[in-house]
Amino acid sequence: MSILITNVLHQGKPVNVYLEDNFISDIGPSVEAEQTIDGTNLALLPGLVNTHTHAAMTFFRSYADDMELHEWLRDKIWPIEAKLTPDDIYWGTRLACLEMIRSGTTCFNDMYFHLDMQAKATQESGMRAVLSEGFIDLMKPETGEELLTKTMKLVEEVRNMNCDRIKPALGPHALYTVSRQSLESIKQISDEEDLLIHFHLSETKDEVENCVKEYGKSPVRFLEEIGFLGPRLLAAHSVWLDEKEISILAGAGVKISHNPVSNMKLAVGKAIHYSEMRKAGLNVSLGTDGCASNNNLDMFESMKFATLLQKFSLNDPTVMPANEAFQLATVNGAQALGFNAGVIEVGKLADLILVNTRMPFFQPSHDLISNLVYSANGSCVDTVICDGKVLMEAGIVKDQDEIIEGARKATERLIQDGEG
């Protein structure tokens, strides 16, 4: 399969871009292709990479807001989550993928339940993803052993799909929900099987204080002690870290997923130490978190929140300029997840988006990247290509109505069951 995109804006100039199979094969040619997309008035950009999601939580979007974190989980989220069926996960993930595609994301890193259904929905959506089964043993190692067996069976299932776009991973939830023994087993399997670990780290002050109470040291120091850190670890949030912990994480090659909207909405108390992380050489990428705590999957919005949160918190309007925010959402994310994508270059995976430069909020066009970060939202995305296949063209996603209808029916049943 080949696709030619003609007359599309790339680094300020109109070019032709040739995609062959799932790679960017040439920039500048005017050869024939099986499919041609007219890129006039469109700008070519790498697809955005969302490195922290709980995709099927789209079902809980605006189900419960403006609550204290603990009440919110205990009274609202956990009771309804317990009712989720595999079918719900399928439709919730399809809905998430639809929303991500529409807003220019081509790749995401997910942690939720029923990994097989996450994988089925993601495969059908055409997106690229790292997917993990959320692992919570509630500090009981014997539960952990059972769960790990179950998890590895699911990982095997995903591998057997033979879908290059989808990588299984391990999803130990957090230090306060997973026992030390399970964390150690997970780390060992991650190394043996070359699986990424998707983990929540130091999101709140409480989490850090409880870890000190439980283990006598801060989360990063404890994880270092048990040998859990390493380049396959992607740590979401990572807000409450001191200087030494940042240096430990950098030394171990851990990847950080920053989730500014969720951090602000759930009031975690401070902004991530972005400048220190950058200085230490850490890979920082960007995530939306799940729809219960954001409440959308729009990475354009998250870029703006990321940079404005830094400026505001540090009293410094020069921190995280637009091009850095854009790197967080593209090349850093692709690197963190181990995909050869995130930039427009020959030889890179054909994961790309075309944005409509005629939108009023792009006028005038002094600086495209600045407009993307500070002025745009996901609605600027016109066309989305992932792995060399068109997922949205001129604003049309083929199965949109079917997905919205399927998700609507599933949520209706879920809420009735939840209240019944």
> What whole-number distance in Å separates Cα of residue 160 and Cα of residue 49?
24
Number of chain residues interacting with its own copies (CB under 8 A) = 69
Assess contact for 325 and 307: CB atoms under 8 A: yes
- Least distance CB 338 / its own copies (angstroms): 28
- Which residue, 23 or 300, is less far from its own copies as judged by CB? 300
- Least distance CB 90 / its own copies (angstroms): 15
Residue with tokens 């354009």: 300
- Least distance CB 196 / its own copies (angstroms): 27
Interaction between residue 121 and its own copies (CB under 8 A): no
Q: Which of 72, 222, 228, 240 binds its own copies (CB under 8 A)?
A: 72
Interaction between residue 237 and its own copies (CB under 8 A): no
Interaction between residue 187 and its own copies (CB under 8 A): no
Q: Is residue 377 classed exposed, middle or buried when 0-12, 13-18 and 19+ CB atoms within 10 A define those classes?
A: middle
Interaction between residue 363 and its own copies (CB under 8 A): yes
Q: Which of 371, 382, 384, 391 binds its own copies (CB under 8 A)?
A: 371
Interaction between residue 12 and its own copies (CB under 8 A): no
Interaction between residue 389 and its own copies (CB under 8 A): no
Interaction between residue 73 and its own copies (CB under 8 A): no
Q: Which of 81, 88, 133, 298 binds its own copies (CB under 8 A)?
A: 298
Q: Which of 375, 389, 393, 418 binds its own copies (CB under 8 A)?
A: 375
Residue with tokens 């992607």: 234
User: DSSP state, 373?
Assistant: I
Structure tokens of 270?
């401070």
Q: Which of 150, 226, 361, 402 binds its own copies (CB under 8 A)?
A: 361
- Least distance CB 241 / its own copies (angstroms): 18
Residue type at position 100: M
Biggest alpha carbon–alpha carbon distance for the chain: 66
Q: For 201, what's the count of Cα atoms within 13 Å in the CB-facing half-sphere? A: 30
Quote the radius of gyration of the chain (alpha carbons, Å): 21
Residue type at position 15: V
Q: How many CB atoms are closer than 10 A to CB 123?
A: 17
Interaction between residue 267 and its own copies (CB under 8 A): yes
User: DSSP state, 359?
Assistant: S
- Least distance CB 316 / its own copies (angstroms): 6
- Least distance CB 65 / its own copies (angstroms): 5
Which H/E stretch holds residue 65?
none
Assess contact for 284 and 332: CB atoms under 8 A: yes
Structure tokens of 318?
């020069």
CA-nearest of 373, 198, 384 to 299 is: 373
Residues lying near its own copies in the complex (CB under 8 A) are found at 58-63, 65-69, 72, 95, 98-99, 102, 261, 263-267, 269, 291, 294-298, 301, 304-305, 308-309, 311-312, 314-322, 358, 360-361, 363-367, 370-371, 374-379, 400, 403-404, 407-408, 411-412, 415
